Copies of this chain bind each other. A is one copy, B any other.
Amino acid sequence: MDRLSLNIATTKKWNLAEAVEGAVRAGLPSVGLWRDRVHELGLDRAAKLVRDAGLRVSSLCRGGFLTATSPEGIREALDDNRAALDEAAALGTDALVMVVGGLPEGSVDLAGARQRVAERIAELVPRARERGVRIVLEPLHPMYAADRAVISTLEQALDLAAPHTAEEVAVVVDTFHVFWDPALPRAIERAGREGRIASYQVCDFNLPIAADALLSRGMMGDGVVDFAAITRMIAETGYSGDVEVEIFNAEIWDSPGDSVLATMTERYRELVLPHLG
């Protein structure tokens, strides 16, 4: 249990204080935070709340949305991401998770959007270095390639990270997003070798895909992800950080938070922990 982290998007009805209390009640050592919940409370109070509760912050979600083409869109994205890097530092985490954004309205130029992401990352790196916070690139499932994140595979995330040091740009491996990838063993091995695994997130892939495709994430064991296989790949890299549970799922959001944490802990013990090494 000393590596299990609640990403607070999993208990969406709880505000930050409630999520922190819930995590403490469940005996968890760590939480993954979202900026909207932090802003609700105010950055300083949020940081103090988590610190006083004795919890680690495994990551901050999220920066990103870097694919704008207009000068104003680019400036806004850079400003917002620099603020997010500052917030991560204030909250005591070195991981700012980035959902990099999809195609601008009306565009089909995926290659161009990917190129702009590379350029924006390079512009953000100096602030990341200054704050001691890593830009953590999240490859999203290819079904979100056009509208959420033009980074679609772990290999691609590593290629985008390659011009920068592992302290500056890293990656998150989220089972929901990458379980399907036949090149996953090779990509995880590379991520480990390069020292770039900043976070391991576990979440199942439910079928059928939810009518709102964003909500197809499921509790471990409810879907089609092979947690044993992927967790062993992660363990073999020597990754020793937190394992974050991040689930967007209407049914889970409607359930009482404490019971979600109980199920999550049980499934983690059964499906993930035995393979963590």
Contact = CB atoms under 8 A, between A and B. Distances in A.
Interface of A: 103, 108-111, 114, 141-143, 145-147, 151-153, 155-156, 159, 179-183, 205, 207-209, 211, 213, 223-227, 229
A152 to B, nearest CB: 5
Contact of A143 (B143, B146, B156, B227): B143
Contact of A153 (B146, B183, B209): B183
Contacts of A152: 180-182
Copies, count: 2
Give me the 9 closest cross-chain CB pairs, A-B, nearest first.
A145-B180, A146-B224, A142-B180, A156-B182, A108-B226, A143-B143, A211-B211, A209-B213, A142-B142
Given A110-B179, A152-B180, 19 more contacts: A108-B224, A108-B225, A110-B229, A141-B143, A142-B180, A143-B143, A143-B209, A145-B179, A146-B180, A146-B207, A151-B182, A152-B182, A153-B183, A155-B182, A156-B183, A159-B182, A209-B209, A209-B213, A213-B213
Nearest to A103: B224
Q: Report which residue of A156, A182, A209 has the largest number of chain B beta carbons within 10 angstroms of its beta carbon.
A: A182
